[in-house]
Amino acid sequence: MSSSAENPTLTTEITKPSTEIATETAQSAKKINLKTSDDQIFEVEESVAMEFATVKSFFEDAPSSTDTVPLPNVPAKPFSQVIEFCKEQIKFKANPDETEKKKSNSEFVKEKTNEDLVEMIPVANYLEIKDLLDVLNQAVADRIQNRSVEYVRSFFGIDNDFTSEEEALLREEHAWAFEDVDED
């Protein structure tokens, strides 16, 4: 296996902040290399990586391992956003303030597109980041509430596999629940 020195971290827009911090606190914070499914390597501070239960247990199983941890189910784009979230969360670990945490969480999801949110869910699930998963589930629910069936389909990219007769029947059966929802 190649070490991180031989396999330099990709300086994409995404990983830049972490490399900047890396130079500032090079001596103090231990770094861990994480390799995404699309072969990008993220150099992440240990404290952040330990937020990922999956990575944490990887090290618990093999404490001496210094190799790059492969994350075969994690694409780089949502992963960089997950890292962004966990970095914020760590601040609240040292300094718990529920109101500020809530505010920070809602800021985090507010600026994400629907696509961002939906893509992060499997990543948060695979890495077992419970807090993030809760935040994402709530955020997605907020975006589909009071929306039409058609909107929800396109939100998740779900194909309608009901025949038009079946769908009409279903709608008739549950007609009481269908109100005049926002169609856009």
Partner 1 sequence: MMETNHEKLSANTVGFCLLPSEIIQNILLHLALPEIICLKSVSRFVAGVISDQNFERAYNSQSRPSAWLFVYKKRWNRDAILHGFNDRSGRWFNFRVDGLLKPVICPGDQIYFLTASSNVFLFVSNTRRELLALDLGTKAVRTIPPSPLGPRGTSSWRRSGMKLVATGSGHFQFLFVDLVHSSPVLFVYSSKTDTWQSVEAREGLAEMPRVFQKEGGHVLLDAINGPYESTVTAVGLECGAYNNHAPIVLRPKFNPGHTDGLDRLQVFGDGNMLVVKSHGVDNAGVRMVSDIELWGGLRLNGSWQNWEVVSKVPRRIKEQIRKPYRAMRGCLERREGIIRAVLVSNYDGLWDIIWLSYDTGRSLWTWLPLPDCEMKGLNMAGIAFSSGLTLP
Q: What does the binding site for partner 1 look like in residue numbers (CB under 8 A)?
A: 113-115, 118-119, 121-122, 125, 133, 137-138, 140-142, 144-146, 149, 152-162, 167, 170-171, 173-181, 184
* CB closer to partner 1 out of 27 and 113: 113
Q: Which two tokens stand for residue 84?
A: 């962004």
DSSP state of 182: B
Give min distance, CB of 12 to partner 1, in A: 19
* DSSP code string of 43-96: EEEHHHHTTSHHHHHHHHHSTT--SPEE-TT--HHHHHHHHHHHHHHHHHHHS-
Buried b (16+ CB within 10 A) or exposed e, 115-126: eebbbbbebbeb
Minimum gap (Å) between residue 75 Cβ and partner 1: 11
Closer by beta carbon to partner 1, 13 or else 179: 179
Closer CB to partner 1, 66 or 178, in the complex: 178
Q: Cα separation of 58 and 85, whole Å?
A: 21
Residue 78 beta carbon to partner 1: minimum distance, rounded to whole angstroms: 10
Closest contact distance (angstroms) between CB of 116 and partner 1 is: 10
* Residue closer to partner 1, measured from CB, 62 or 169: 169
| CB 3 to partner 1: min, Å | 34
Which residue lies nearer to partner 1 by CB, 66 or 146?
Answer: 146
**Spatial distance between the Cα atoms of 129 and 136, rounded to a whole number of angstroms:** 11
- Whether the CB-CB separation of 18 and 39 falls below 8 Å is answered with no
| Distance of closest approach, residue 173 Cβ to partner 1, in angstroms | 8
Which CB atom, from 1 or from 177, has the smaller least distance to partner 1?
177
Q: Are strands 41-45 and 69-70 parallel, antiparallel or unpaired?
A: unpaired
